[in-house]
């Protein structure tokens, strides 16, 4: 059971500024009912270009309602430049904190505010940047990376809590972990470690590398190579054509074939020739 602060409960049970501003200067919608959360935000400015009136309509859980209500209270009286500086963490802090599993609600509020300001300023609608990583919730690699950087996220669970990515079928967990590893490595100034490969993935990548990078070069000189087996990090191959009778075939296997596989597949691979 999640623990909610008194302020979260208050904004859920008694939400402020519900509805839509009449003759609004800007209206924006984010999220999707199909994905579980949606938010519509509208505001009107006064003669000094400060937010005079702001309202929201949301479809979602208690935290979605509370964060939307809190956001509308926070931005009243602000200039758009001041409002643009609000982060999702600011919204959570205003409420005295949110359960980690519900931080994505504060992210949705921040996104709605950004979009509404863009509408008012006549900025072109932002196209979806990056590639979809989580098909269940339509979350891109760019969105995941931004959440990691802004909120210092370190685990798959963190990313799911802030973006919902990975909270469905789970097929994207590997891709999300790779993004986490890469971004965390960049933030620490250390090179990212290569993700671990299953044996099936390793064999498939070895086959693809041989077909794409190695075999064409060998065939150019009348030779060829056949993958016989993969045992751990040992790649067992048989030489064919001119390579089979070439005295320098061992050098070719080590300095070309093995080097390519180390570079493009896994740095600990070794190539061994077997008779077939």
Coil, helix or strand for 108?
Answer: helix
Is residue 164 left, alpha or beta, with left meaning phi > 0 and alpha meaning psi from -120 to 50? left
Establish whether 35 is a catalytic residue.
yes
Closest CA to 95 of 122, 124, 77, 72: 72
Coil, helix or strand for 228?
Answer: strand
Q: How far is CA 65 from CA 58, 113, 210, in A?
A: 6, 15, 55
d(CA 26, CA 111): 14
Adjacency order of strands within the sheet including 26-32: 26-32, 37-45, 51-59
CB 257 within 8 Å of CB 225: yes
Beta strands in 6-115 (DSSP E): 26-32, 37-45, 51-59
Establish whether 243 is a catalytic residue.
no
Q: Catalytic pick from 61, 105, 243, 246?
A: 105
Q: How far is CA 159 from CA 145, 162, 181, 217, in A?
A: 9, 5, 12, 43
d(CA 275, CA 236): 10
Instruction: Tell me the β-bridge partners of 79.
Output: 50
HSE, CB side, 13 Å, CA atoms: give it for residue 96: 10
Q: Catalytic pick from 35, 61, 136, 246?
A: 35
**Could you list the active site residues?**
35, 105
């Amino acid at each position: 059971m999640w623990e909610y602060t008194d302020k979260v409960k208050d904004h859920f049970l008694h939400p402020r500024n519900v509805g839509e501003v009449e003759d609004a200067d800007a209206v924006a919608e984010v999220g999707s009912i199909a994905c579980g959360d949606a938010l519509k935000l509208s505001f009107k400015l006064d003669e000094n270009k400060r937010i005079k009136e702001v309202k929201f309509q949301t479809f979602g859980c208690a935290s979605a309602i509370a964060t939307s209500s809190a956001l509308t209270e926070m931005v009243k009286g602000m200039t758009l430049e001041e409002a643009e500086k609000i982060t999702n963490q600011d919204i959570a802090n205003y409420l005295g904190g949110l359960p980690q599993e519900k931080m994505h609600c504060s992210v949705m509020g921040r996104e709605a505010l950004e979009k509404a300001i863009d509408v008012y300023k006549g900025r072109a609608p932002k196209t979806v940047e990056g590639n979809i990583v989580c098909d269940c919730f339509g979350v891109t690699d760019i969105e995941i990376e931004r959440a990691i950087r802004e909120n210092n996220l370190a685990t798959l669970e963190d990313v799911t809590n802030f973006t919902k990515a990975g909270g469905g079928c789970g097929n994207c967990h590997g891709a999300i972990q790779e993004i986490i590893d890469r971004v965390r490595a960049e933030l620490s100034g250390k090179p990212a470690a290569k993700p671990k490969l299953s044996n099936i993935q390793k064999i498939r990548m070895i086959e693809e590398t041989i077909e794409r990078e190695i075999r064409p070069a060998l065939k150019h000189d009348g030779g060829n190579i056949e993958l016989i087996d993969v045992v751990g990090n040992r790649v067992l191959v048989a030489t064919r054509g001119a390579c089979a009778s070439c005295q320098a075939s061992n050098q070719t296997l080590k300095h070309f074939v093995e080097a390519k596989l180390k570079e493009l597949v896994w740095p600990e691979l070794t190539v061994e020739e077997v008779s077939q």
